[in-house]
Homo-oligomer: A and B are copies of this chain.
Amino acid sequence: MKLRVTVMPKNGVLDPQGKAIGHALGTLGFAGVGEVRAGKVIELELAETDPEAAKRQAGEMARRLLANMVIESFSVELA
């Protein structure tokens, strides 16, 4: 089954990529842009067919590889 893991910088952690995007949007003429945060999303196709077990497995993958738990948080959802 297909899952989506979203990894975002934790609140309070500096996000230079988000800052750069916000700045670039201003340069392009977009007004009213507040905070911008940039993260990543990983779509996984897993052989596991039980939704809860698949989410647990994807969470384990996030903790071990996809996210740096010191500075990032993640969420898992069915895609």
| Cα separation A66 to B31 with both chains bound (whole Å) | 16
Which partner residue on chain B sits nearest A27 by CB separation? B65
Q: Is the CB of B40 within 8 A of A40?
A: yes
Partner of A34, one of B32, B35, B45, B57: B45
* Contacting residues of chain A (20-79) with chain B, CB-CB under 8 angstroms: 21, 24-25, 28, 30-48, 57, 60-61, 64-66
Q: Is the CB of B24 within 8 A of A65?
A: yes
List 14 extra interface pairs beyond A6-B41, A32-B47, A33-B45, CB under 8 A: A21-B66, A24-B65, A28-B61, A30-B60, A32-B46, A34-B44, A34-B47, A36-B42, A36-B45, A37-B42, A37-B43, A38-B40, A39-B42, A39-B43
